[in-house]
Structure 1
Amino acid sequence: MTGKPPPPIKTPCIKVCVIDGTSGLCLGCYRTLNEVAGWARLSAETRESLMAELPGRRSQIAPEKLAMF
């Protein structure tokens, strides 16, 4: 054992945690509630894959909702 702490988990969270009722996506990071809740349990590869997918989800949220942030 090296005594070093594990590396921090990468996350797209920007501390705007509001789930849009229509799309089911967070208005800050575009993850689903299940993805947010299970993020720490996902493999690094799965997190990286999801993070690459998130920008494309923005279009699923009505622009007027995103204008609030």
Structure 2
Amino acid sequence: MKVADKVRSPCVSICALDDKDMCVGCHRTSDEIMRWSQMSNDERREVLQKVAMRESKVLI
């Protein structure tokens, strides 16, 4: 797989975990952040769906 084919990280270089172990910048858990480079594209897409749900809860 080419690098260009990989699902990109949602990292926005604001790396700080809150009291729920969630990054305040990208809304991933510390486990999701650590495992990202080993995840398949399907796993990454699942994480991105979770991230989108988490972001929508923060914006409400």
| TM-score bin (small chain) | 0.7 to 0.9
**1:20 aligns with one of 8, 18, 30:** 18
The aligned residue for residue 28 of structure 2 is 31
Match for residue 46 of structure 1 among 38, 43, 46: 43
Which segments of structure 1 move beyond 4 Å, counting only runs of 4 or more? none
**Structure 2: which 5+ runs fail to align?**
none
Rg: which structure is higher? 1
CA deviation profile, 1:26-55 (whole Å, cap 9, x unmatched): 001110001101100011111011112212
TM-score normalised over the length of structure 1 = 0.68
Give 2:12's aligned amino acid: I
Q: Which runs of 5+ in 1 are unaligned?
A: 64-69
- Specify the SS of the correspondent of 1:38: helix
Aligned residues: 56
- Superposed CA RMSD: 2.0
Q: Output the TM-score relative to the length of structure 2.
A: 0.77
**1:6: Cα distance to partner?**
3.0
Q: Which has the higher contact order (CA 8 A, sep 6+)?
A: 1
> Normalized per residue, which structure has more helix?
2
